[in-house]
Amino acid sequence: MISNSSKYTIKAVLFLAINSSEEKKIMVKDISEPINVPQAYIAKLLQELAKQKLISSTRGPKGGFFLSDIDKNRSVLDIVAVIEGERNLNACLLSLEKCDKNNPCPIHYLTSNSRNILMKNLKQKTINELALDVKNGKSSLPL
Amino acid sequence: MISNSSKYTIKAVLFLAINSSEEKKIMVKDISEPINVPQAYIAKLLQELAKQKLISSTRGPKGGFFLSDIDKNRSVLDIVAVIEGERNLNACLLSLEKCDKNNPCPIHYLTSNSRNILMKNLKQKTINELALDVKNGKSSLPL
DNA sequence: TCTTAAATATGATTTATATCATATTTATTA
DNA sequence: TAATAAATATGATATAAATCATATTTAAGA
């Protein structure tokens, strides 16, 4: 359900939230090293996010990636959804076929509450809040 | 975190729980078709479960797979753990590195409660209970 | 004890995901 | 406006997961 790509992406976006701003753009090579993800790989992921307007970027000298205020107020789910695609996110963790309350598969009730909680959490939390947690020592890097 | 293989395996084991017994063994080919999983693939998964003593089997004519009473009282988690391996199960859904309450990663609290609930559910529910749900119309096949 | 029907063991192939490489476009600055 | 430094676009390669193929072992029954 959640791929490595999503994890890498969250790392990178969180790094941008903590370290970048409109005035302080960061190059791919200066992101990949501290978050410990291959440069070419995270570049591809960040490019996709930029294309989807979830993060910001400019080309050329002095260019790089950064988060605008709008970007920082995106939810973690927004990020994950772009990487995973909506369909994968909406599939149950374990569930066998399309199923719902009216027509539950045998393990629907083993997975649905867990899944709903995860989705709610990811939807409520903004990138900015994640960054604040780190700054306040509530959670810790290195990633 | 949870692979296709686990889903297929749950389908097959549940099918066995409903349809097999010590006296009524079922061949791979008669399992793969109704649960809609390639024969050679589900064969490999069932063989692994048999090796780990989570399901029962005998070779030769009149042979096949079946669930003993002990098998039926295994938890869903027991099955999934064999297929996924313990390490993958214990990794957070999204989490970045090894993290826990004392040293939470930035998204630890977005994922841990969801994960704990899933694990608890999978651990509590037995194969037999799943089969009963189907028989009582609480959940529905086809898988 | 021979034949047959089943699981088992092993490994090959395919497909998807992750990773790497490179040419192109764009923005800055001299 | 030329040189440079960055993202972007595209596609190639490597690795892992899923799927397929086949030879071997075991048990039943004639």
Report pLDDT for A111. Answer: 86
Output DSSP code: residue A58: E
Measure the CA dihedral A39/A42/A47/A53, to 10°. -140
Report pLDDT for A128. Answer: 95
Report pLDDT for B16. Answer: 94
What are B66's strand-pairing partners?
A: B56
Span B60-97, pLDDT tens digits? 999 999 999 999 999 999 998 888 876 566 666 666 66
Nucleotide with minimal C1' distance from the CA of A41 is C19
Report pLDDT for A13. Answer: 94
Asked if the model's pLDDT at residue B136 lies above 70, the reply is: yes
Q: Let me know how long chain B is.
A: 143
Report pLDDT for B107. Answer: 84
Report pLDDT for A99. Answer: 75
C-beta atoms surrounding A99 within 10 Å: 18
The mean of the pLDDT values for chain B is: 87
pLDDT band at B5 (very low <50, low <70, confident <90, very high): confident
pTM above the 0.90 mark? no
Report pLDDT for A81. Answer: 87
Tokens of A7: 């994890």
Residue lying closest to nucleotide C4, CA to C1': B61
Report pLDDT for A70. Answer: 94
Report pLDDT for B69. Answer: 94
pLDDT band at B33 (very low <50, low <70, confident <90, very high): confident
Instruction: List the single best residue of B121, B135, B141, B143 to mutate versus A (max A Cβ within 10 A).
Output: B121
Instruction: List the single best residue of A105, A113, A120, A126 to mutate versus B (max B Cβ within 10 A).
Output: A105
Report pLDDT for A92. Answer: 61
Long-range contacts of A100-108, Cβ-Cβ distance < 8 Å, separation of 24 or more? A103/B140, A104/B138, A104/B139, A104/B140, A105/B139, A105/B140, A105/B143, A106/B10, A106/B14, A106/B130, A106/B133, A106/B134, A106/B139, A106/B140, A106/B141, A106/B143, A107/B10, A107/B76, A107/B125, A107/B130, A107/B139, A108/B139
- Using DSSP bridges, classify how beta strands A56-58 and B64-66 pair: parallel, antiparallel or unpaired: unpaired
| B41-52: b (≥16 Cβ within 10 Å) or e | ebbebbeebeee
By Cβ distance, the residue of A103, A110, A139 closest to B121 is A110
Decide if A105 and B143 are in contact by the 8 Å CB cutoff: yes
Span B20-31, pLDDT tens digits? 999 999 999 999
Report pLDDT for A88. Answer: 62
Q: Are the CB atoms for A78 and A45 separated by under 8 Å?
A: no
With pLDDT > 90 as the criterion, what percentage of chain B qualifies?
Answer: 53
Task: List strand C contacts in A 17-76 (CB < 7 A).
Answer: 37-41, 44, 58-63
Task: List strand D contacts in B 70-129 (CB < 7 A).
Answer: none
Q: Alpha-carbon distance A28 to A39, whole Å?
A: 7
pLDDT band at B7 (very low <50, low <70, confident <90, very high): confident
Section B13-23 average pLDDT: 93
**Which one has a higher pLDDT value, B143 or B7?**
B7
Section B34-43 average pLDDT: 90
ipTM metric: 0.82
A108/C15 CA-to-C1' distance in Å: 28
Report pLDDT for A72. Answer: 96
Positions in chain A short of pLDDT 50: none
What are B22's strand-pairing partners?
A: none
**Which one has a higher pLDDT value, A94 or B107?**
B107
Domains of chain A: 4-86+126-135 (1.10.10.10)
Section B40-55 average pLDDT: 92
